Amino acid sequence: MAKVKYYYDSDTLSYRKIELRRRDKLGKMVVFLLASAMLGAIMVFALYQFIEPPKQKVMSRELENMRLHYELLENKMKQAEIVLNGIQKRDNNIYRTYFEANPIPEEQRKAGFGGVNRYKSLEGFNNSEMIIDATKSLDILSKQLYVQSKSLDEIIDLAKDKEKLLASIPAIQPVSKQDLTRMASGFGWRLDPFTKARKRHKGMDFTSPKGTPIYATGNGVVIRADRRATGYGNHIRIDHGFGYVTLYAHLSKYNVKKGQKVKRGDLIGYVGSTGRSQAPHLHYEVRYNGNQVNPINFYYGNLSPEEFQEMLKSASQEGQSLD
């Protein structure tokens, strides 16, 4: 109950009760309540400005710590990118070049992810930008690693093939140096020993005594060992794969049969003078994709630079071939 207030009435010389009207009472109460509420709000607001509740303090310290570690992780990620860039450069400029594969274009290696926004779920938070950036970098890094590992897989296959190619490709002289009387005729325009007309000699002639061993110049399969080709007499053809076939003509004897697998340096037959031949010699051809090419480019296996020079000299002399 509200206190009862009195006033002194000078007319009646007595104290009289102050009678407040009901409306006035209500108004006063509302003003009081409003003022209290406002004061309370101001105090709470002020309190929050200067004093952090302990729980929030701990959380914000944790957040700061997390942000710091995030930055450290980002630095580490940048380091990883640098290392990967080095590997990519070596991959393009050394490995892929060595194995004759096209370099992987920069755009393909560094391509991001198009289409839908993959990072929508990370949007709308205080640290969204930081988290989206880091996630993006990591995504690109993962993709680059994937491309790089694919590239290395391809190189392994190429290396295996290269090993096989190097073993298969014709690379030695078919007659050994000590057995060779002379390199009679090279590849190119020569006089036909029979007609004396100028015509293209599509192989190399090695003059050696009858019975001199002839060696396979690369790994492969004997596809012919017969005398059914005009002019070549007894002859052998070896398919080396990769588009290469070698042909050995005018043999006196065979040492292999059709269908037989041979390795570089295997004895396949003996020098003779069968077919269209003037004197005992080996006519040797290298064919690449069906066309005769100059065998002089296929002796890197067992000739010294000086020997090669000498062979080049004698092979380029325009004389008469032995055919």
Residues that bind Zn ion (CB under 5 A): 203, 205, 283, 321, 323
- Give the number of other CB atoms < 10 A from CB of residue 280: 20
* CB 185, min distance to Zn ion, A: 6
Report d(CA 136, CA 121) in Å as an integer: 13
Q: Which is nearer to Zn ion, 144 or 246 (CB)?
A: 246
In three-state secondary structure terms, 164 is helix
The nearer residue to Zn ion, 132 or 180, going by C-beta atoms, is 180
Residues 6+ apart with CB under 8 A from 97: 103
Residue 263, SS3 per DSSP = coil
Nearer to Zn ion, 57 or 198 (CB): 198
Provide, rounded to whole angstroms, the least separation between the CB of residue 165 and Zn ion. Answer: 27
Contact 278, 323 (CB under 8 A): yes
Shortest distance in whole angstroms from residue 239 CB to Zn ion:
21
Tell me the closest approach of the beta carbon of residue 226 to Zn ion, in angstroms.
Answer: 18
- Considering beta carbons, is residue 248 or 254 the nearer one to Zn ion? 248
- Report the residue number, 203 or 218, with the smaller CB distance to Zn ion: 203
141's CB contacts (< 8 A; 6+ apart) are 77, 80, 81, 84
Shortest separation between residue 202's beta carbon and Zn ion, angstroms: 8
Cβ proximity to Zn ion: between 144 and 193 the closer is 193
Q: Which residue is nearest to Zn ion (CB)?
A: 283
- Rounded to whole angstroms, what are the CA distances from 147 to 79, 87, 98, 106, 157? 19, 12, 19, 11, 16
**Whether the Cβ atoms of residue 204 and residue 185 lie closer than 8 Å to each other:** yes
Q: In angstroms, rounded to a whole number, what is the distance separating the alpha carbons of residues 291 and 27?
A: 116
